[in-house]
């Protein structure tokens, strides 16, 4: 069996094997690129307006303060914790979040759910579990093999030596130039 045929077979088989993951990573990658505009993983399905009478003494504004104040408003969500971020109080619940304005005490609790399919793709894209890291490293190596074999398997006027190197060079130059402007 000649090398060109072996490379074609590897290119074809790795492409078939990883087609689903390539599609999932492409879609979730596009979604993650636009995460400043929207949350690709979760969506808000319910909001509850809240108002807190915040004490003047900032030391008195604790997790327990918010737990008691939420019960007074008949809000049954269990508070997991709070933090001061973005110039206000952030309240964290199971599948819910609130930002409380420190001057007015007003805010909204937003309950969210994971987007079907896209949420799972985003989770895969961002996963750091040991098993997934190894699998995605193997995937990355195979993507490199797909790219390299794709560069060299075509011969003749459309091959790498005649035409392909120009397109490959442009494909390297464009992101490099963009990188300097970011």
Q: In the chain, what are the domain boundaries?
A: 3-35+117-181, 42-114
Q: Which parts of the chain have pLDDT scores under 70?
A: 1
User: What is the model's pLDDT at position 158?
Assistant: 81
User: What is the model's pLDDT at position 58?
Assistant: 87
User: What is the model's pLDDT at position 1?
Assistant: 64
User: In what helix (H) or strand (E) does residue 170 lie, and over which residues does it extend?
Assistant: helix 165-181
> CA angle at residue 33 from 107 to 39, to 5 degrees?
25
pTM above 0.95, yes or no: no
């Amino acid at each position: 069996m000649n090398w060109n045929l072996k490379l074609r077979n590897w290119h074809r088989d790795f492409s078939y094997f990883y087609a689903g993951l390539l599609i999932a990573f492409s879609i979730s990658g596009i979604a993650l690129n636009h995460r400043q505009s929207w949350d690709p993983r979760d969506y808000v399905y319910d909001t509850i307006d809240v108002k807190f009478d915040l004490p003047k003494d900032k030391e008195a504004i604790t997790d327990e303060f918010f737990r008691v104040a939420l019960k007074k408003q008949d809000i049954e969500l269990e508070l997991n914790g709070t933090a001061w971020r973005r110039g206000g109080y952030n309240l964290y619940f199971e599948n819910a979040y609130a930002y409380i304005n420190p001057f007015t005490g007003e805010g909204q609790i937003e309950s969210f759910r994971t987007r079907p399919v896209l949420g799972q793709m985003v989770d895969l894209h961002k996963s750091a579990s040991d098993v997934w890291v190894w699998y995605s490293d193997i995937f990355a190596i195979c993507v490199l093999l797909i790219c390299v074999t794709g560069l060299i398997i075509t011969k003749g006027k459309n091959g790498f030596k005649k035409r392909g190197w120009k397109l490959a060079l442009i494909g390297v130059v464009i992101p490099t130039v963009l990188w300097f402007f970011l």
